[in-house]
Structure 1
Amino acid sequence: MDPVEARRRIADAQSAAQSRLESLRAQFDVIVAGSEWTTDDDEHDPEGSTIAFERAKVIGLARDAEVEVRELDAAQERVASGSYGVCERCGSAIADPRLEALPAARRCIVCLRLR
């Protein structure tokens, strides 16, 4: 894949992931603010378990988005070093359709299946 195109695709993915992360952080803040007026006793508060579940779900999704942002940052570094699109395991080229679908891909499909 052309380095200019790779940078553009990665930047687009970074923007989307960063927006998702900011949205999830805002959702978390709303959940926390909304739970200020509830009891800390999840066992006896009918809303407690729902609030705890929502909080845990948003935290998990935010962590996934943070990992994605870091992976995309690393992909930009690979573009800069000239190693983008090269499988970290076998050294073969990663197919363009895979990089289009997953701009931060580090391994080719063959090596991914060997896990």
Structure 2
Amino acid sequence: MDDALDPSALQAARERLGEAREEALRRWDSVQSRVEDLRRDRAEEPADDEHDPDGPTLSSEWTMAEAQRGVVESAIAEIDAALARVEDGRYGLCLRCGRPISPERLAARPSAATCLDCARRASRSPR
């Protein structure tokens, strides 16, 4: 049995992934801009912003911005890996068990690298 997606499904996946990558890059630009603003603010503000009652501290905003940047970078890496799988013919096949990933899962998460069963097993296993 051939588990490969047909050419039209692969093209649709390529397009969805491309759109997702463009959106992720826009988010990355936004987060990067925020990080640069915070870097500039940190250079201009006194070192002790922890006692400012007027809102969140620069340190907490910096931490949040860095975390957001990491999430976006991870999403871009997942999308790039999925695009590579499209090109080498492995897209739509679970990287753990080799079975097809359901079309519903791929529609919901085009960068999915595992089938739902393997994803569930991985989320339950201790790290």
TM-score, with normalisation over the residues of structure 1? 0.90
| 3-state SS of paired residue (1:87) | coil
Q: Distance in 1 between matches of 2:71 and 2:27?
A: 10
Residue aligning to 1:63: 70
CA deviations on 1:41-89 (whole Å, 9 max, x unpaired) are 3455557961110111011101110111111111111000110000011
Coordinate RMSD, CA, aligned: 1.8
Where structure 2 has 5 or more consecutive residues not aligned to the other structure, the ranges are: 123-127
Residues in 2 aligned to 1:40 and 1:28: alpha-carbon distance in whole angstroms = 17
Aligned-pair CA distance for 1:17:
0.5
Structure 1 runs (4+) deviating above 6 angstroms are none
Distance in structure 2 (CA, Å) of the matches to 1:49 and 1:95: 43
2:94 alignment partner, SS class: coil
TM-score, normalising length from structure 2?
Answer: 0.82
| Percent of residue pairs identical | 34
In structure 1, what is the equivalent of residue 58 of structure 2? Answer: 51
> Residue 38 of structure 1 contacts residue 48 of structure 1 at CA under 8 Å; is this kept in 2?
no
Return closer, same or farther for 1:69/1:20 CA change in 2, 3 Å cut-off: same
Give the number of aligned pairs: 115
